[in-house]
Every structure is written in structure tokens, then in C-alpha cells.
């Protein structure tokens, strides 16, 4: 199997056995010294050994996208006193002021889903979300679907539905990061190795410096649309193997945990969006490993072409700037993103993510309409066999 997209170890989400600490109960967290510098200690990342291999994925379910219930003119959001909307770029990205995510009605949340799907990524300024309880924030996220539990990242104690990003503010960490590589840009969409990967995703800043650490996004609708009609026709029905095995390996390497067994899943290379009725590329270096039915060199070169094309599309790209009261909401099906490690101060960067699971990725509307949980369970039984098929066997089974 190719290692073309081998994931790098992300120190912002994983346990550091050289700097972090474990107590007698088997709960690991940041050091007491770092905890004293953390303004929201209840949000400190923890890794509880009691959670190791005790979680399973959410059972297969029929996703209902809340954006389908919204008025696309957004009358309820736009009627909120003081609400304002500013385009980040003509097609991708929006900045919103005057709307509190924590105060939305259900009908307004439906409009929120459609707004995020339409613009890909939306930054909401002056938010109070981080001052609400864990349960209140989980209730907001779960309105859009079951919440994802990350297999390896840090989470607040007893709240594994949150994924914590925590850069420890050490200059040594920055030096180590670039010790053997030229940059730390890692374009991805989150946890695409899941059978039903996330859709609507909330990412809220808890603590940061005055500048730096932007999150960058690329529009995968646009990267697909740029391809020639012939190229589109060649790739529209291809399938890609996504895996979490590399991520799990690196997490365990430094003393972390695996809440769930590593997973492999097969997804379409080109994905259909159920609300916007458009197609987008659905690959990323972090988790996409192999195009089924192609030989190694064929798969590697096609993936490399598509990934290079995607990452070069900086005219389909936005940078969302952070402050400590910003919440960014994006559609994980439509965009890929990367952190930007461009500061060399000792500022801590601490944030949380809560994300809802969406529909099973499909290649077109017919597949979407035909999909059922029962059909998915039948396909799941043969998945391991499909992954092992040779290119000739795969062609004979699915194309002849």
C-alpha cells in the first residue's frame, strides 16, 4: 500500500510523553506548569487510559441535513438586531457579527447549516460559547447530527465528544516542529476515515496570542470544477481507501491512547453534496491512501496530481483569522483546512472542536436516494475483501 500521504504527528492534539504527565489513576494531561498558564483549565486536554479501546463508532444512521429545512435567503438570521455579514472571498468564506451561536432557535440553526454549506466556512465574532457548559455546547453540536468522538486526541476530562487543540507555547516546540521539515502545512478534512465523516463543525478559540495561527481553507467544489470535462468523467466513479492507522500509530508511539480501533473505509473520490446538489473532490493527504482498482504507481500519480492541483488552488482559498472570542463553523464535506504555525512567541494556543456526523459519502444523487442503513451494513460485511482485491479483480467485479 502506498505511503504517499503519510500523516505527520500532530503535537497540538496528541500526548507528549516527554513533557506531559500522567497521574496514578491513569489520566494523562499537560504538565502542572502548563496548566497554571492555561486560562480555561477545565478545557485542558486529557487522555484517560480507562477510555482506551472502549468506544465504538456511532451505528450507521440515515443522516438528515438541517440545511434542507432552511430558507436560503436566511430571513431569521438576517432579522437578528445588529447582525452583519461580510464576504471573505466571492465564493468561499463569510464573517458574521451580531449573532450569538449559543442563542439560536432551532429554525435559526437550520439557516446556520445552510449558510455554512453555502459559504463553506463562516467566522462568528464576539462569541460567548466557551462560557457555556459542556452539555450546552454538545446540545448545540448534536442538533446537526450525532457527535464524533476522536480516537486519539486530547479531550476535557469525561467529555470525549470534544477534540482539543493545545500548542504548549514553548519555543522548543516550534524548533522541534521544523527540525526536519520545511513547513507544517497539512491540508485535510477531519477524520475522513470514518464510515460517516463529519459535516457541520464548530471550532472555538479559548486562548491565543495577538496574531498568527490562522486556519486556512480550500474550496473542494472549486478544485473539482476546475478540472476538464474529460478528467471529471475519468474520476467520477473512482473509490479511495481512507485509513486512521497512521494517526493511531503516531498517537500510541508517544504514550497516547486509542479510544477506538483503527478504521479503514472506502469513499468516492468525487463526492455529491445533498443540499447544494454539487460535486467536490473528497481526498486529503492525511487519510487518503489508495485509489481502488489501480496499480500502485497509477494510484500514487493520480492522487499526487489531484493533491498538488488542490493545494495549488490558492485562488479558491481563504485564511480565517482568530481572536479569543471567535468561533469558526465549516462544512467538513466541502473544504479542506490546515493550521498555520507562524508564531515564535511563547503564546499558548488552546481551542476546542465539536463536530456532527453527516451522511455516508456518495458519488451522485441516485446513490444518495438509494442509500439505506441496511444496504450499508451489507456493504460493510464485504469491505475488507474489496480492499484486498487486485486491480484486475476489482475491474472485473465493478466495471466489466
Over 90: is that where the pLDDT of 349 sits?
yes
- Residue 252 has what pLDDT? 85
Enter the C-alpha cell of residue 270.
Answer: 468525487
pTM, 2 dp: 0.95
- Residue 250 has what pLDDT? 87
- Name the band, by pLDDT with cuts 50, 70 and 90, for residue 171: low
- Residue 9 has what pLDDT? 55
Q: Look at 16-20, 69-73, 123-127, 139-143 and tell me which has the smallest mean pLDDT.
A: 16-20
- Residue 4 has what pLDDT? 47
- Residue 2 has what pLDDT? 44
DSSP code at position 251? H
Model confidence pLDDT, tens digit, residues 358-396 = 999 999 999 999 999 999 999 999 999 999 999 999 999
| 3-state secondary structure (DSSP) of residue 36 | helix
67 vs 173 pLDDT, higher one: 67
- Residue 277 has what pLDDT? 98
Domain regions of the chain by residue span: 25-399
209 vs 292 pLDDT, higher one: 292
The predicted model gives 202-228 an average pLDDT of 95
210 vs 247 pLDDT, higher one: 247
Question: Facing residues of 372 across strands?
Answer: none
Rounded CA gap, 217 and 63, in Å?
Answer: 25
- Residue 126 has what pLDDT? 98
Residue among 190, 101, 108, 111 nearest 140 (CA):
101
| 3-state secondary structure (DSSP) of residue 378 | helix
Say if CB 149 and CB 160 are below 8 A apart.
yes
Over 80: is that where the pLDDT of 175 sits?
no
Residue with cell 468564506: 93
290 vs 14 pLDDT, higher one: 290
Model confidence pLDDT, tens digit, residues 249-275 = 988 888 889 999 999 999 999 999 999
Write down the architecture of domain 25-399 according to CATH. Answer: 4-Layer Sandwich (3.60)
Share of the chain above pLDDT 70, in %: 96
Q: What angle do CA 115, 153, 283 make, to 5 degrees?
A: 55
Residue among 335, 348, 363, 234 nearest 293 (CA):
234
- Residue 144 has what pLDDT? 98
pLDDT, averaged across the chain: 93
Over 60: is that where the pLDDT of 6 sits?
no
Enter the C-alpha cell of residue 218.
Answer: 480550500
Residue among 312, 330, 94 nearest 189 (CA):
330
Model confidence pLDDT, tens digit, residues 103-148 = 999 999 999 999 999 999 999 999 999 999 999 999 999 999 999 9
Question: How far is Cα of residue 165 from the mean position of the Cα atoms in its chain?
Answer: 13
- Name the band, by pLDDT with cuts 50, 70 and 90, for residue 18: confident
Amino acid at each position: 500500500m502506498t505511503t504517499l500521504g503519510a500523516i505527520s504527528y500532530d503535537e497540538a492534539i496528541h500526548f507528549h510523553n516527554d513533557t506531559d504527565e500522567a497521574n496514578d489513576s491513569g489520566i494523562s494531561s499537560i504538565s502542572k506548569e502548563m496548566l497554571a498558564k492555561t486560562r480555561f483549565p477545565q478545557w485542558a486536554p486529557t487522555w484517560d487510559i480507562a477510555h482506551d479501546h472502549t468506544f465504538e463508532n456511532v451505528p450507521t444512521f440515515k443522516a438528515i441535513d438541517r440545511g434542507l429545512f432552511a430558507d436560503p435567503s436566511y430571513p431569521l438570521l438576517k432579522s437578528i438586531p445588529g447582525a452583519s455579514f461580510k464576504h471573505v472571498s466571492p465564493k468561499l468564506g463569510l464573517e458574521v457579527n451580531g449573532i450569538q451561536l449559543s442563542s439560536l432557535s432551532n429554525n435559526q440553526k437550520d439557516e446556520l447549516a445552510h449558510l455554512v454549506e453555502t459559504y463553506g466556512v463562516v467566522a462568528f465574532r464576539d462569541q460567548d460559547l466557551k462560557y457555556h457548559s459542556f452539555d450546552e455546547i454538545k446540545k448545540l453540536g448534536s442538533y446537526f447530527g450525532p457527535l464524533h468522538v476522536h480516537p486519539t486526541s486530547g479531550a476535557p476530562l469525561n467529555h470525549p465528544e470534544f477534540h482539543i487543540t493545545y500548542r504548549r507555547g514553548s519555543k522548543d516546540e516550534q524548533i522541534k516542529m521544523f527540525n526536519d521539515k520545511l513547513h507544517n502545512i497539512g491540508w485535510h478534512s477531519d477524520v475522513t476515515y470514518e464510515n460517516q465523516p463529519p459535516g457541520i463543525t464548530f471550532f472555538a478559540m479559548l486562548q491565543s496570542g495577538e496574531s498568527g495561527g490562522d486556519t486556512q481553507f480550500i474550496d473542494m467544489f472549486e478544485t473539482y470544477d476546475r478540472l476538464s470535462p474529460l478528467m471529471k468523467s475519468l474520476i467520477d466513479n473512482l473509490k479511495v481507501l481512507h485509513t486512521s492507522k497512521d494517526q493511531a500509530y503516531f498517537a500510541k508511539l508517544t504514550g497516547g491512547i486509542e479510544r477506538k480501533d483503527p478504521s479503514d473505509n472506502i469513499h468516492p473520490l468525487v463526492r455529491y453534496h445533498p443540499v447544494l446538489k454539487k460535486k467536490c473532490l473528497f481526498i486529503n493527504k492525511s487519510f487518503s491512501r489508495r485509489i481502488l482498482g489501480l496499480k500502485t504507481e497509477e494510484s500514487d500519480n493520480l492522487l499526487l496530481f489531484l493533491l498538488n492541483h488542490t493545494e495549488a488552488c490558492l485562488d479558491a482559498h481563504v485564511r480565517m483569522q482568530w481572536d479569543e472570542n471567535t468561533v469558526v463553523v465549516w462544512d467538513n464535506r466541502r473544504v479542506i483546512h490546515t493550521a498555520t504555525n507562524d508564531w515564535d512567541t511563547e503564546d499558548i494556543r488552546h481551542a476546542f472542536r465539536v463536530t456532527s456526523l453527516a451522511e455516508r459519502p456518495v458519488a451522485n444523487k441516485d446513490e444518495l436516494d438509494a442509500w439505506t442503513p441496511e444496504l450499508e451494513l451489507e456493504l460493510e460485511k464485504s469491505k475488507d475483501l474489496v480492499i484486498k482485491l487486485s486491480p484486475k479483480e476489482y475491474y472485473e467485479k465493478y466495471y466489466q
